[in-house]
């Protein structure tokens, strides 16, 4: 008898499925409320290699839900304590502690080593970074997320019949403005909710690794523990969702995912057009793309101030009342608006959401802009 | 015949209701406009919409009897 007997006996799993688990390498990003239960079940099921990435330390307020930790662990690194606890319990798997945070500089290198990623993080910048890295690397990932008594689970970017399933940006193309969606530090949470959602993430991981069962690819499941309601929906690919993310891994490394837009800092091209029409002397469009990036915009109220030189251009910009930064996707322009906020205190700074790729940009809707 | 709106997470908080019934607006853009007028707190929130359990990002007509789910992203973990 071995410790996997009850699952190798399961119809459709067998020794073959167990070997697939043994040969699998899974990266868990976030050793918190979702990551702890997910890791316990992955380790218990015999997943051969589990890496635990989290730069955070254990605090006493974690203990109602982060069930790998206990009194006495406070102040220690979550990744290290989790790896030690799992090694003590199931020494037949390999655990790797990665006690730091995921960044755009390290994401591709780390994630490239694993078959499957579990997004057990607790913030939008990390969720978008995991999504974009997985899409560019062609890796599947399983996302869990919670709010008060509700949770979401989805399998993204899973290759099925040679085609990748939907990803997070097909559902939510861009991160919400900072502070609009409170996290559980503000709203409170019962430990059982991430327990259920993290366990569902582990269940999806086991299904994908063993090719047994119907995965949540192209679907999202909402679970409400307060009302006992499950709500499963089908997701469809969105044609322009790739335009919202870096085009390759090199560009990804240059993105700053930690900047979340402040409410009202992002405006659409149609708002920009109205402002330019009503007050052309005081409003300016600033193209922060580098000179070699095309298509270039030839608009009388547009100036080129590449991101690489922007900090030296205060004098050129401070005469305007409203400065509207734009780039190819809306990412660097947001960075520019944040970066220049201290230098240009007398000006209103905005970033054009979605950038030049939007259908109503002066490039794509030139007729409309000519009438301005 | 009406349409049924189901609100999730912080959207339900902002609307102070998890479910409501509305006379069917013509399409999803009309529905968004009607919701923004009634609940201005939703204006800055980009949420996904599912009609009869299928996520729809573009505009689409709404039929009487449809169930529309308003789905915000969650970040907690």
ipTM field: 0.95
Model pLDDT, residue A372: 62
A94 and A36, same domain (yes or no): yes
Residue A107 covered by a domain: yes
Structure tokens of B70? 């308003």
Q: Residue B54: its chain A contacts at CB < 8 A?
A: 233-234, 236
Main-chain dihedrals φ then ψ at residue A287, nearest 5 degrees: -85, 110
CATH number at residue A270: 3.40.250.10
Q: Residue B74: its chain A contacts at CB < 8 A?
A: 145-147, 150-152, 181
Query: Assign residue A20 a region: left if phi > 0, alpha if psi is -120 to 50, beta otherwise?
Result: alpha
Beta-carbon contacts of A52 under 8 Å, excluding residues fewer than 6 positions away, are: A28, A31, A35, A39, A78, A79, A82, A83, A95, A96, A97, A98
pLDDT in tens, A297-333: 888 889 999 887 888 888 889 999 999 999 987 878 8
Q: Largest Cα–Cα distance of chain A, in whole Å? A: 81
Residue among A151, A181, A264 minimizing CB distance to B72: A181
Model pLDDT, residue A185: 65
Expressed as residue numbers, the domain containing B48 is: 3-71
Distance CA B31, CA A132 (A): 31
A97 and A216, same domain (yes or no): yes
CA distance A262 to chain B (A): 11
Model pLDDT, residue A184: 63
Residue A291 covered by a domain: yes
Structure tokens of A283? 């409003």
Of all residues in chain A, the one with the smallest CA distance to B71 is: A222
A240 and A330, same domain (yes or no): no
DSSP string, A27-90: EEE--STTHHHHHHHHHHHT-SEEEEE---B--GGGTTT-TT--TT-TTSBHHHHHHHHHHHH-
Residue A125 covered by a domain: yes
Helix or strand run (H / E) with residue A233: strand A229-234
Residue among B48, B55, B75 minimizing CB distance to A124: B75
Q: Residue A235: its chain B contacts at CB < 8 A?
A: 55
Distance CA A45, CA A27 (A): 15
A97 and A163, same domain (yes or no): yes
Res. A188 pLDDT band, cuts 50 70 90: confident
CA distance B35 to chain A (A): 17
Expressed as residue numbers, the domain containing A339 is: 266-370
Residue B17 covered by a domain: yes
A99 and A201, same domain (yes or no): yes
Average pLDDT of A133-152? 97
Residue among A146, A174, A232 minimizing CB distance to B76: A146
Contact assessment for residue A15 and residue A8, using Cβ atoms and an 8 Å cutoff: yes
Task: Using alpha carbons, list the distances in angstroms from residue A236 to A116, A218, B8, B56.
Answer: 22, 7, 20, 7
Residue among A145, A170, A172 minimizing CB distance to B76: A145
> Which burial class, exposed, middle or buried, applies to A240 when counting CB atoms under 10 A from its CB (0-12, 13-18, 19+)?
middle
Task: Using alpha carbons, list the distances in angstroms from residue A352 to A280, A360, B29, B57.
Answer: 17, 11, 22, 20
- With a pLDDT cut of 70, the percent of chain A lying above it is 98
A223 and A275, same domain (yes or no): no
Please tell me the total count of domains within chain B.
1
CA distance B74 to chain A (A): 6
**DSSP character at residue A217:** B
pLDDT of A31 above 80: yes
Residue A215 covered by a domain: yes
CB contact under 8 A, A238 and B57: yes
Residue A315 covered by a domain: yes
Residue among A146, A172, A220 minimizing CB distance to B77: A146
CATH number at residue B40: 3.10.20.30
Domain boundary among A244, A277, A302: A244
**Average confidence score pLDDT of chain A:** 92
Of all residues in chain A, the one with the smallest CA distance to B46 is: A176
Beta-carbon contacts of A183 under 8 Å, excluding residues fewer than 6 positions away, are: A122, A123, B75, B76
Q: State which residues of chain B have pLDDT below 70.
A: none
CATH number at residue A209: 3.40.50.720
A79 and A133, same domain (yes or no): yes
CA distance B44 to chain A (A): 7
Res. A208 pLDDT band, cuts 50 70 90: very high
> Which burial class, exposed, middle or buried, applies to B32 when counting CB atoms under 10 A from its CB (0-12, 13-18, 19+)?
middle
pLDDT of A370 above 90: no
CA distance B69 to chain A (A): 9
Average pLDDT of A8-35? 97
A228 and A292, same domain (yes or no): no
**B65 at the A interface (CB within 8 A)?**
no
Model pLDDT, residue A300: 83
Among A145, A149, A191, A229, pick the best mutation site for testing chain B contact (most B Cβ within 10 A).
Answer: A145
Domain boundary among A213, A244, A275: A244
CB contact under 8 A, B55 and A235: yes
CB contact under 8 A, A127 and B75: yes
A186 and A292, same domain (yes or no): no
Residue A254 covered by a domain: no
Structure tokens of A243? 């335009």
A115 and A84, same domain (yes or no): yes
CB contact under 8 A, A181 and B53: no
pLDDT of A13 above 90: yes
Structure tokens of A289? 């793309």
CA distance A177 to chain B (A): 8
Task: Using alpha carbons, list the distances in angstroms from residue A353 to A291, A337, B61.
Answer: 21, 12, 26
A214 and A288, same domain (yes or no): no
pLDDT of A169 above 90: yes
A236 and A279, same domain (yes or no): no
Residue B77 covered by a domain: no
Residue among A298, A299, A297 at smallest CA distance from A327: A297
CB contact under 8 A, A220 and B69: no
Distance CA A71, CA A211 (A): 39
**B55 at the A interface (CB within 8 A)?**
yes
Contact assessment for residue A214 and residue A203, using Cβ atoms and an 8 Å cutoff: no
Please tell me the total count of domains within chain A.
2
């Amino acid at each position: 008898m071995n410790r996997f007997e009850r699952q190798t006996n399961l119809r459709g799993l067998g020794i073959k499925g167990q070997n697939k688990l043994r040969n699998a390498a899974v990266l868990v990003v976030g050793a918190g409320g979702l990551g702890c239960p997910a890791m316990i079940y992955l380790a218990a099921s015999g997943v051969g290699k589990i890496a635990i990435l989290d730069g955070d330390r254990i605090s006493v307020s974690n203990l109602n839900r982060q069930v790998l930790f206990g009194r006495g662990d406070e102040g220690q690194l979550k990744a290290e304590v989790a790896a030690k606890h799992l090694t003590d319990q199931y020494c037949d798997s390999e655990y790797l502690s990665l006690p730091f945070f995921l960044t755009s500089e390290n994401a591709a290198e780390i994630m490239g080593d694993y078959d499957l990623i579990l997004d057990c993080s607790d913030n939008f910048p990390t969720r978008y970074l995991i999504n974009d890295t997985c899409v560019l690397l062609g890796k599947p990932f399983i996302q869990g997320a919670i709010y008060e008594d509700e949770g979401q689970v989805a399998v993204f970017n899973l290759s099925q019949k040679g085609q990748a399933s939907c990803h997070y940006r097909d559902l939510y193309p861009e991160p919400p403005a900072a502070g609009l969606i409170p996290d559980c530090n503000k709203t409170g949470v019962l430990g059982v909710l991430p327990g259920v959602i993290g366990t569902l993430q582990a269940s999806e991981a086991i299904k994908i690794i063993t090719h047994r069962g119907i995965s949540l690819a192209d679907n999202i499941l909402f679970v409400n523990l307060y009302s006992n309601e499950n709500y499963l929906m089908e997701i469809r690919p969105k044609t322009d969702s790739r335009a919202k993310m870096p085009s390759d891994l090199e560009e990804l490394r240059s993105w700053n995912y930690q900047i979340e837009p402040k409410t009202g800092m992002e405006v659409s091209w149609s708002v920009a057009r109205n402002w330019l029409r009503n007050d052309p002397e005081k409003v300016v469009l600033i193209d922060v793309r580098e000179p070699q990036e095309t298509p270039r915009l030839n608009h009388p109220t547009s100036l080129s101030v590449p991101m690489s030189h922007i900090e030296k251009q205060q004098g050129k910009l401070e005469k305007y009342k409203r400065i509207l930064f734009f780039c190819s996707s809306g990412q660097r322009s947001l960075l520019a608006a944040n970066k220049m906020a201290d230098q240009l205190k007398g000006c209103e700074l905005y970033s054009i959401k979605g950038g030049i790729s939007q259908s109503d940009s002066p490039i794509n809707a030139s007729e409309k802009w000519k009438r301005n | 015949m009406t349409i049924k709106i189901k609100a999730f997470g912080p959207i339900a908080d902002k609307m102070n209701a998890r479910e409501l019934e509305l006379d069917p607006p013509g399409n999803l853009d009309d529905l968004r406009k009607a919701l923004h007028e009634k609940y201005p707190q939703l204006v800055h929130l980009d949420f996904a919409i599912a009609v009869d359990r299928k996520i729809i990002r573009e505009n689409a007509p709404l039929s009487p009897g449809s169930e529309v789910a308003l789905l915000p992203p969650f970040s907690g973990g």
